Amino acid sequence: MRSRGLDGQVQSEPRRFYDGGVLAIGDRIGLPPDPEADPRIVLERHLPDGVEIFSLARRIAYRDRVLGELLVPASPDFRTDLTSTPALFTWLVPKTGAHLPAALVHDALVDGGGAPSYTSTEGHAVTRVEADRVFRDAMADTGTGIIRRWIVWSAVTAATIFVPGGLPWPTATRWAHRAGVAVSLAVIVYLGYSATGDLFDRAWPLAWQVPWMGDHLWWVEVLGGLTGAIVIPLVLSLLWGRFRVAGAIAGTTLAVLLHVSVALGLISLGYLVLERLSVRAPLVARAVAITSAFAALAGFACFTLGSPPG
């Protein structure tokens, strides 16, 4: 039985993590797990094709509330990129931190993709859906905050829905869930696009004038947009079926952070373009830098000494 607090959340129990010993490889003698010892994360860095990944020199042991003891990795071929967070969202969920042991356990449990690829010490085959639940509970045991761990769980759940074999259900049921998730996310992005046009009073192509914003002062429209960014995802989460809690969290997070994500995406894209130019066409990169500097100087003078355009 899972131990929960008065708020219904899993209570943090750090001692559920412990040293998993060493995996026997070739002539090397393995070492058994030690429940009395703290977990030791010993990483070895690899750079295949210039991509940074890691292997675990020692195993991590975690005693799950349902599955019992989990010893990972189960194979010396296991590789991980630590916390699998897109670069745009590392400010929200960093690649490493308190949640790292839980992230490594989850990576190892789903190492084979969608189908069950791991069996616990007590003989339980771990599906990807169950691995996501383990991830969420394990983050609680590392002391990860409630908001962060539920956002992360929602993100990995969305990935599980689309990974081949991720849902251990009949084909029709899997595709029904995928369609529901895809539709809900598409609607959220479309409404975010339309709401942005409303905010800037622009009739953008295919945009819909959302009724919860209307034609008011800008801050009133922002508040109206925020209410829509919360209410609409909650309604659309019903399309996620049994994963509606994940849908509510993922949808609301996407809606609220949509504009931040787009802005960060454009900044990142500009950085990557300049990096590529500086390597392949240094003269062009220099010309772009000089032009940008003069344009900024001219704009600064215009706004400071004269009247801004328009």
Task: Give tens-digit pLDDT for 163-207.
Answer: 988 898 999 999 999 999 999 999 999 999 999 999 888 889 999
Instruction: Please state, as a whole number, how many other Cβ atoms lie within 10 Å of the Cβ of residue 24.
Output: 11
Rounded CA separation 291/111 (Å): 48
Task: Give tens-digit pLDDT for 117-142.
Answer: 678 888 888 999 999 999 999 999 99
Q: Which pLDDT value is given to residue 74? A: 86
Q: Which pLDDT value is given to residue 17? A: 97
Counting as low any pLDDT under 70, the low residues of the chain are 1-8, 112-117, 306-310
Q: Which pLDDT value is given to residue 1? A: 45
Percent composition of the chain: helix, strand, coil (DSSP 3-state, to 5):
55, 10, 35
* Cα 114 to chain centroid, rounded: 17
Q: Which of 197, 201, 106, 196 is nearest to 159 (CA)?
A: 106
Q: Which pLDDT value is given to residue 201? A: 87
User: Strand, helix or coil at 19?
Assistant: strand
Determine phi and psi for 69, rounding to 5 degrees. -70, 130
Q: Is the bond preceding 86 in cis, omega lying within 30 degrees of 0?
A: no
Task: Report CA torsion sign: 45, 22, 41, 70.
Answer: positive
Whether residue 233 contacts residue 255, with contact meaning beta carbons closer than 8 Å, is answered with yes
Quickly list DSSP for 58-102: S-EEEEETTTEEEEE-SSTT--B-SS---GGGTTTS-SSSTTHHH
Mean of per-residue pLDDT scores for the chain: 89
Q: Which pLDDT value is given to residue 177? A: 96
Q: Which pLDDT value is given to residue 247? A: 97
Q: Which pLDDT value is given to residue 307? A: 62
Q: Which pLDDT value is given to residue 6? A: 41
